[in-house]
Structure 1
Amino acid sequence: MNADRPIPINQIDNDVLAYQDTVFLQREELRSSRLALEFTKADLGMRDQGIKSTIVVFGSARTPEDHPDYIAAREFGRIASERGGALNEANGGHINVICTGGGPGIMEAANRGAHDAGALSIGLNIELPHEQGVNPYVTPELSFQFQYFALRKMHFAIRANALVAFPGGFGTLDELFDILTLKQTGKISGMPIILFGRAFWSKIINIQALIDYGTIAAGDVSHFRIVDSAEECWEAIIEHGLALTHGDV
């Protein structure tokens, strides 16, 4: 059922409490309540599992298992989990935990790399007509379902210590530019943004054209870095000053 579709009043069960009436909660007028509940459910779920910070990985859901990008994303997920502190619970929580959209392709690869390392990983899945199944490598307690893209994006950003964007389509570009805009406008600071695959990104984004047209400043190129291997990706994150200790959420 479309949660934003108006619900006829005669479908509401007045004999149950409001929070138990799922038909009532799906009324268009209850959208603000659903937004609050959707944010809070994932937030509390991560707090309950001791998630202090994440490393977010974006990329195409269509990348097959034998593709070099899949292999690299899996390797990066393992490296980041082994070296980034995700296995360390000494301070009462987990830091730099791999976080993806929870689906197939690059998302699966990164979650799989964390699984290879014996670490937790997060999947922020969203209801879509296609590509919506959760991959089997997401930690079950850290698999969260979203209806609203905006709230999903918030959860990608609020705990992120770093962002890695592998080649992807509209969704990857949307999420990447959302984070780049937050960094450009000073809404977030310190988060390294790494683009994996020089050949891909140099064709997809003509940064020099944006500078030439005056739509971005020349200094805006400092907000991201392009790399070509999982090891180089990790080194770029460390050089940027990735926090390897627990922080407050």
Structure 2
Amino acid sequence: MDTGKPSNAAQMASPSYRLAVLDQDFLLGDTMRGVRFQLEYAKAEEELRIWGVRSTIVVFGSARVREDGPGRHPYWYGEARSFGAIASQRGGALASNGGLRDNVIATGGGPGIMEAANRGASDVDAPSIGFNITLPHEEEPNPYSTPDLTFRFHYFAMRKMHLAMRANALVVFPGGFGTLDELFEILTLRQTGKVPALPIVLFDKTYWRSIIKFDALLEHGMVSEHDRKLVHFAESAEETWATLVENGLLVPGA
């Protein structure tokens, strides 16, 4: 029977009628960028709290380093792996401290040095974090970060925030543009007092002094003597751990 009432099919099919939370076109639009920032913060934050991650040791380094690679690659990879195990065993990632974990290894989640550090934690059955980033030529997450603590970000800014906000220390193995970017991000936060006084160790002094002229920055008046002393060097996994502790790494029960 024709009631003369028009169909509402067009209204039902309109994008404006979709529930906002289910409307991907809306959520990915320019006006929702702030909401997407909030979601990227909240998703990782929730899981980190569930796992009781109170603090981390961040390990940076090249994704191009290989366990069987050329030159010093095997040494860098092996020492990053050893450091991941040492820090996890001694730093509080394994210990139950009221449900809280300290000095949990955190990396960018990719291959190379990141894989090695996550692998070292896995070797001693400790949790570790992978803060991955979506890139045009995307690397998959390495298989050693804890699955529940393997995250993927769109925004570099939010990824960097999560890397920095729980960091008790920073260890930087040889790397390229990305590693330099992350190193100077943390150095600037330390210089300006935006993060607590965490120790920063660069692995392999010869490599780092060949590509960054720290003393030249001081000579030209671009940094202070105090700024110059923010950086320490180490040549082995054991020396890296000792240098962190000597320079103020917070270790529960120590």
Query: TM (normalized to structure 1)?
Result: 0.91
Deviation at 1:27, TM superposition (A): 0.5
Distance (Å, rounded) in 2 between the aligned partners of 1:12 and 1:27: 17
Point out where structure 2 has 5 or more consecutive residues left out of the alignment. Answer: 1-12, 69-73
**1:27 partnered with 2:1:** no
Deviation at 1:171, TM superposition (A): 0.5
Which residue number in structure 2 is paired with residue 36 of structure 1?
38
Which residue number in structure 2 is paired with residue 111 of structure 1?
118
Distance (Å, rounded) in 2 between the aligned partners of 1:170 and 1:207: 17
Secondary structure of residue in 1 paired with 2:48: helix
Which residue number in structure 2 is paired with residue 7 of structure 1?
none
Deviation at 1:99, TM superposition (A): 0.2
**1:49 partnered with 2:54:** no
Identity %: 55
Distance (Å, rounded) in 1 between the aligned partners of 2:163 and 2:231: 17
Secondary structure of residue in 1 paired with 2:215: helix
**1:137 partnered with 2:144:** yes
Which residue number in structure 2 is paired with residue 96 of structure 1?
103
Cα RMSD, aligned residues only: 1.4
Superimposed CA distance per residue, residues 170-195 of structure 1 (whole angstroms, 9 cap, x where no aligned partner): 01000000000010111122200010
Query: TM (normalized to structure 2)?
Result: 0.90
Distance (Å, rounded) in 2 between the aligned partners of 1:131 and 1:113: 23
State whether residues 75 and 230 of structure 1, in contact with CA within 8 Å, keep that contact through their aligned partners in structure 2: yes
State whether residues 12 and 21 of structure 1, in contact with CA within 8 Å, keep that contact through their aligned partners in structure 2: no
Which residue number in structure 2 is paired with residue 152 of structure 1?
159
Q: For this pair of structures, how many residues does the alignment match?
A: 236
**1:185 partnered with 2:212:** no
Which residue number in structure 2 is paired with residue 163 of structure 1?
170
Which residue number in structure 1 is paired with residue 221 of structure 2?
214
State whether residues 218 and 228 of structure 2, in contact with CA within 8 Å, keep that contact through their aligned partners in structure 1: no
Point out 4+ residue stretches in structure 1 off by more than 4 angstroms. none
Secondary structure of residue in 2 paired with 1:14: helix
Distance (Å, rounded) in 1 between the aligned partners of 2:246 and 2:147: 32
Which residue number in structure 1 is paired with residue 63 of structure 2?
61
Largest Rg, 1 or 2: 2
State whether residues 107 and 129 of structure 2, in contact with CA within 8 Å, keep that contact through their aligned partners in structure 1: yes
Between 27-36 and 168-177, report the one with greater CA deviation.
27-36
State whether residues 91 and 252 of structure 2, in contact with CA within 8 Å, keep that contact through their aligned partners in structure 1: no
